[in-house]
Amino acid sequence: MTACDLRRITRDLDTWDGWCSAWWAVAAEHERLGRQALATGRLLSAGQHLAQAALYFHFAKFVFTADLDQMRRAHRRAVACLDDALPHLSPPGRRIEIGFAGGTLVGVLRLPPGPGPHPAVLMLSGLDSAKEEHRVVEQLFLERGLATFAVDGPGQGEAEYDLPIRADWSEPGGALLDALAAEPGIDASRLGVWGVSLGGYYAPRVAAAEGERVKACVALAGPYDFGDCWSCLPELTRETFRVRAGAPTQEEARRIAYTLTLEGTASAINAPLLVVFGREDRLIPWRQAERLAAATGGDSELLMLEEGNHGCANLTPWHRPYTADWLAQRLKGTTR
Confidence (pLDDT) at 3 = 63
Residue 114 shares a structural domain with residue 216: yes
Considering the domain architecture, whether residues 265 and 172 belong to the same structural domain is answered as yes
User: For the segment 216-230, what is each residue's pLDDT rounded down to a tens digit?
Assistant: 999 999 999 999 999
Residues in the chain with pLDDT < 50? Answer: none
Please tell me the pTM assigned to this model: 0.96
270 contacts 212 by C-beta, under 8 angstroms: yes
Sheet holding 147-152, edge to edge: 93-100, 103-110, 147-152, 118-124, 186-196, 214-220, 273-278, 300-305
Same structural domain for residues 194 and 116? Answer: yes
Q: Are residues 80 and 224 in the same domain?
A: no
Q: Are residues 214 and 147 in the same domain?
A: yes
User: Which domain CATH number covers 79?
Assistant: 1.20.1440.110
Q: Do 119 and 234 have their domain in common?
A: yes
Same domain, 292 and 201: yes
- CATH number of the domain within which 305 lies: 3.40.50.1820
Range of the structural domain that residue 43 is part of: 1-90
Residue 101 and residue 165 share a domain: yes
**Whether residue 86 is found in the same domain as residue 96:** no
Q: What per-residue confidence (pLDDT) applies to 59?
A: 94
Taking CA atoms, 41 is separated from 34, 273, 288, in Å, by 11, 44, 50
Tally the domains of the chain: 2
| Final residue belonging to a domain, choices 35, 55, 90 | 90
